[in-house]
């Protein structure tokens, strides 16, 4: 935020404060509110804290007419313009000015502790903002004076990136290949030597002995006849023999 001396902002307003005439400070031990005549304030009215630029103004005004009674410009807080007393948190000593170079110290008191707390916080927040604005201005000034750092690539400039994790993963991540022929390893508990896999590239052949003649042999002592290639041979021979016997009997086919 740029500093604008023509704009005056309102920081705090308290409807009732009391002003006391304070005795001169005898030593460096600080002011004490107990030394004042607290039951007989010299003036009572309204207090406002305003800010114009970096300076805060404590204004004491009449609560009815708004006429200015006294004003204390504050350029730094904590500082010599506003001091706390040593025996209470509701009373302060402020230095007022008349605009002609003359100043005086008066006692300022609040009836409630919450009002004195708001008074203190309003001044603290304002000068915290002033400090931040000063730091920002210094940073901007240093950025203007210092040359900007150019991190862009020049023409023909390259970079090399070395990633070591990929090499480690390739070296340690190789897995053993499976058995030849696409066979799965034996299940747990079975010895690997119990089953002999067939040669690679040759499908396994199941050795099954089939002897159809043994099915038709009902106890003949001789060796079994070789299987016939004619599927209907046995049925035709049996039919031919039976038909011949039937014809010899009397010309009729007999079924036994």
Per-residue pLDDT reduced to its tens digit, 97-117: 988 889 999 999 998 999 999
- Count the alpha carbons within 13 Å of 29 in the hemisphere toward its beta carbon: 5
The answer to whether 10 touches 56, Cβ cutoff 8 Å, is no
Buried b (16+ CB within 10 A) or exposed e, 199-215: eeeeeeeeeeeeeeeee
The first and second tokens of residue 234, run together, are 């046995």
> What's the CA gap between 74 and 47, in Å, rounded?
14
- What local confidence, expressed as pLDDT, does residue 85 receive? 92
- Average of per-residue pLDDT values in the chain: 76
The reported pLDDT for the residue numbered 92 is 95
When pLDDT is cut at 50, 70 and 90, the band that residue 246 belongs to is very low
Structure tokens at 58: 């404590």
What are the CA-CA distances from residue 205 to residues 77, 169, 198 (Å)?
103, 43, 9
Which residues 6+ apart lie within 8 Å of 83 measured at CB? Answer: 30, 31, 92, 93, 94
Radius of gyration of the chain (CA): 58
**Residue 167 pLDDT class (50, 70, 90 cuts):** low
Q: In the chain, where are the structural domains located?
A: 8-140
- Rounded to an integer, the average pLDDT of 167-187 is 58
pLDDT greater than 50 at residue 50: yes
Architecture of domain 8-140: Roll (2.30)
The CA distance from 105 to 82, in Å, is 10
Query: 11 with 126: CB under 8 angstroms?
Result: yes
């Amino acid at each position: 935020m740029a500093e604008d001396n023509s704009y005056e902002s309102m920081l705090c307003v308290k409807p009732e404060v009391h002003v006391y005439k304070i005795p001169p400070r005898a030593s460096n031990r600080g002011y004490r509110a107990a030394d004042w005549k607290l039951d007989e304030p010299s003036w009572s009215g309204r207090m406002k804290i305003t800010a114009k630029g970096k300076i805060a103004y404590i204004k004491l005004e009449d609560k009815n007419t708004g006429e200015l009674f006294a004003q204390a410009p504050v350029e730094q807080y904590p500082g010599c313009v506003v001091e706390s007393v040593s025996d209470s948190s509701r009373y302060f000593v402020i230095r007022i000015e008349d605009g002609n170079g003359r100043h005086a110290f008066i006692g300022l008191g609040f009836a409630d502790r919450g009002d004195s707390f708001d008074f203190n916080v309003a001044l603290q927040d304002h000068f915290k903002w002033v400090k931040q604005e000063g730091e920002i201005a210094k940073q901007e000034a240093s950025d203007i004076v210092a040359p900007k750092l150019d991190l862009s690539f020049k023409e023909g400039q390259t970079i090399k990136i070395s990633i070591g994790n990929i090499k480690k993963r390739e070296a340690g991540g190789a897995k053993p290949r499976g058995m030849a022929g696409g066979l799965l390893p034996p299940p747990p508990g079975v010895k690997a030597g119990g089953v002999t896999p067939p040669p690679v590239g040759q499908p396994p052949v199941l050795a099954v002995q089939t002897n159809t003649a043994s099915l038709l042999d009902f106890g003949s002592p001789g060796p079994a006849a070789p299987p016939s290639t004619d599927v209907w041979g046995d049925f035709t021979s049996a039919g031919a023999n039976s038909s011949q016997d039937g014809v010899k009997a009397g010309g009729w086919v007999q079924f036994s």
